[in-house]
Amino acid sequence: MEPIIRVENLSKVFDAKSGRVDAVRNINFEIAKGDIFGIIGLSGAGKSTLVRCLNLLERPTSGNVYIKGKNLMDMSGKELRKTRRNIGMIFQNFNLLMQRNVLDNVCFPLEIAGVKRKEAKERAMELLKKVGLGDKAASYPAQLSGGQKQRVAIARVLANNPEILLCDEATSALDPQTTKSILNLLKSINEEYGITIVVITHEMRVVKNICSHVAVLNHGKLAEKGTVKEVFTNPKSSAAKVLILNDEEQDKFSGEVYEGNVG
């Protein structure tokens, strides 16, 4: 079956004042529909840049991104906007609208899509119940915990019925227990709606918890990819080995090891 996402020879170079940065270097991978696909790597490895390239929020310097077989690089502005509506995104800092209450945050994408107020409110309420926040509709983001804010963000992203959900460090601001509950929610969304989820993280345990497949990024390159089981039981790249060790002995390890012969 055709992969829902396919990345081909993808590169992104930034020409910053401080010099050239090769953030993503000639990456190839594919993601099957319904997968929960992890992209893991240390800070600066290029994870956010790569994920932003998946919906062309960041225009790749070279290479191609295929969504359901169609190359985003060839699309007109109109086609691209349409495709993007099918790709939701959630972030570490939740990006909620602080002046709107919870219900109206979830209504927002529906308003933009031209859904009538009454219908939008009903759908938003349904989604809030789905994420376990049926009783918080009238609250404002400032009155919520981090985990609750992320649940609102998830309800809001689901309003558009996306087939793909990109999560950039969606749990990195949360404590371990709240992280677990958000990961469980993502897993249930994946199972119930069949949404393909791409999870960007620097934490191995996030990958272990919910991902079926994983790609390891190291200095912009794809060091390794495979099923989570393969990569965890038999890591081949030093980048993957270090991440696993980091996970096991988090504070004993220093960055030095990582700088060595990685690849």
Ligand X SMILES: Nc1ncnc2c1ncn2[C@@H]1O[C@H](COP(=O)(O)OP(=O)(O)OP(=O)(O)O)[C@@H](O)[C@H]1O
The binding site for ligand X (CB under 6 A) comprises: 14, 16, 21, 23, 41, 43-49, 202
> Is 150 a residue that touches Mg ion (CB under 5 A)?
no
C-alpha 97/C-alpha 108 separation (Å) is 9
Closer residue to ligand X (CB): 106 or 204: 204
Structure tokens at 73: 């690089």
- The item of Mg ion, ligand X, none sharing an interface with residue 29, based on CB under 5 to 8 Å by kind, is none
- The item of ligand X, Mg ion, none sharing an interface with residue 46, based on CB under 5 to 8 Å by kind, is ligand X
> Is 49 a residue that touches Mg ion (CB under 5 A)?
no
| Structural contact between residues 131 and 154, judged by C-beta atoms closer than 8 angstroms | yes
Closer residue to ligand X (CB): 41 or 141: 41
Helices (H), ranges, the chain: 47-54, 77-85, 102-112, 117-130, 146-158, 176-193, 204-210, 228-233, 238-248, 256-259
Q: How far is the CB of 51 from Mg ion (least distance, A)?
A: 8
Backbone angles phi, psi at 137, to 5 degrees: -55, -40
CA dihedral 228, 73, 15, 92 (to 10 degrees): -40
Helix, strand, or coil (residue 101): coil
C-alpha 225/C-alpha 213 separation (Å) is 7
Q: How far is the CB of 92 from Mg ion (least distance, A)?
A: 8
Among 7, 35, 48, 198, binds Mg ion (CB under 5 A): 48
With residue 20 as reference, give the H or E element that holds it.
strand 19-31
- The item of ligand X, Mg ion, none sharing an interface with residue 210, based on CB under 5 to 8 Å by kind, is none
- The item of Mg ion, ligand X, none sharing an interface with residue 44, based on CB under 5 to 8 Å by kind, is ligand X
Closer residue to ligand X (CB): 11 or 28: 11
- The item of ligand X, Mg ion, none sharing an interface with residue 140, based on CB under 5 to 8 Å by kind, is none
Closer residue to ligand X (CB): 49 or 105: 49
Closer residue to ligand X (CB): 1 or 16: 16
For binding to Mg ion (CB under 5 A), which residues are involved?
A: 47-48
